[in-house]
Structure 1
C-alpha cells in the first residue's frame, strides 16, 4: 500500500486539475456549445491533454534527472506569455486570424501556459520524489528508470485530468442543451397563455 499512495496522489491531483476551469473544461464546453455538438467538446480533450502533459512532463523530467527548477521564473515566464497573448488579443491591431476562435494548436498552447502558470507539474513533486528517488528497482537500474516512472506518472496524472475535464465539459454541454430546451418550452407556454 505504501507504494500505491504516490500514484493515488498523482491521479488525485490530475482530477483536481480537471475541475479547474482554466485548465480546459470551459474551452471544451464552449466548443461543444458553440457547435451544438457534444462530441466536439470531447474532441477538444486531445489538445488540452497535449498542452497539460507537456507542462507536467517538463517538471517530471527535471525531477527525474535531479535538476532544480526556479518555480518563480517558470511561473513568471508562463504568466508573461498569458499577458502578452491577452494584450495582443485585446489590441486594435490584432490580425483577423488571431481573433478567430482557437484551433487545436491554440488550445494546446493555452493548456500548456495555464498548467505551467499555476504550477501543475510542481504540485506533483512531492509524489514524484518517492517514485523517482525512492528505493524502487527502476531507480537502481539507472536515471532512465526514474525518467520512465516520471513519464508514467505524467500519463496517470493526465488521464485522471482528462476524465474529469471530459465529464465536466459534457455535463456543461448537457446543461446548456437542457436549458435551451426548457427556455423554448417556457416561451411556447408563455405565448400560448398570452393568446
Structure 2
C-alpha cells in the first residue's frame, strides 16, 4: 500500500489541489455557509452548515470517481482517455451555454438534508466530480487488489481525501468572510470562478485526450 501511494504521489497531490480549488469556489458552499451565519448572526450556524455541504459534495464526487473506477476496468485506456476528455470539454461547453439557466436555489432555513441535497446538485451540475475522473486513470491501473473492488477502494479514498481538503478550505474562507471580510468581498474583486472553472474543465479534458 505504501508503495502504491509513493508511486502515485503526484496524482494524490492533484487530488489535494483540486480540493483547495473546489473549496475556494463560492458555488461549492462557502458563500452559502457565510450567508447563513450572517443572516442568523451566529458563527455556530455557519459551522453547522458545513457538514451537510461536505456530505453532499462527497456524494457527488464519489458517484463520478467510482464510475471512472468501473469504466477503467472495462474500457481500453486510450478509449477511456478520449471519452473522459470529450465529456470534460462538452461539460464546459454546456456550462457556458446553459449553466446560468440551471441555478439550484435553497432557502436559508434549509435543514441538514436540504443543504446536503443542494450541495450534491451544485457539485454535479458544475461537473466537480467529472473534473476528478481523469485523476482516477493512473490510480485504476495501479490499485492494490484486483478488479473492480480494488479500484472502488481507491475511489473511496480519493473522495474522502478530496472532501476533507475541500471542507477545510470552505471552512477557512467562510469563517474569514464571516469574521473579517463580509460578502462585500465578492463585489470588491473576487475571482470569476465561472470562467476559471470552465477553463479548468477544458484544460483537463485536453490534457487527458493528449495523454491517451
TM-score, normalised relative to structure 1: 0.71
Distance 2:171 2:38 in 1: 14
Taking structure 1 as reference, are residues 148 and 116 closer, same or farther at Cα in structure 2, changes over 3 Å only? same
**1:155 matches 2:163:** no
Alignment match of 1:135 (pick from 133, 136, 142): 142
- Alignment RMSD (CA, Å): 3.1
Taking structure 1 as reference, are residues 7 and 41 closer, same or farther at Cα in structure 2, changes over 3 Å only? same
Distance 1:53 1:137 in 2: 23
- Tell me the matched-pair count: 163
Counting only pairs closer than 5 Å after superposition, residues 112-131 of structure 1 correspond to structure 2 as 112-131=120-139
- Measured against aligned partners, the alpha-carbon deviations of 1:35-85 in whole angstroms (never above 9, x if no partner) come to 222122111111111111111111111111117789458x97xx78x7385
Structure 2: stretches of 5+ with no match in the other structure: 1-5, 73-82, 185-212
Counting only pairs closer than 5 Å after superposition, residues 34-183 of structure 1 correspond to structure 2 as 34-66=39-71, 71=87, 83=102, 101-132=109-140, 134-138=141-145, 141-175=146-180
Report the 3-state secondary structure (helix = DSSP H, G, I; strand = E; otherwise coil) of the residue aligned with 2:128: coil
Contact 2:36 2:108 in 1 (8 A): no
- Measured against aligned partners, the alpha-carbon deviations of 1:71-102 in whole angstroms (never above 9, x if no partner) come to 458x97xx78x73855xxxxxxxxxxx86632
TM-score, normalised relative to structure 2: 0.66
Structure 1: stretches of 5+ with no match in the other structure: 87-97, 180-195
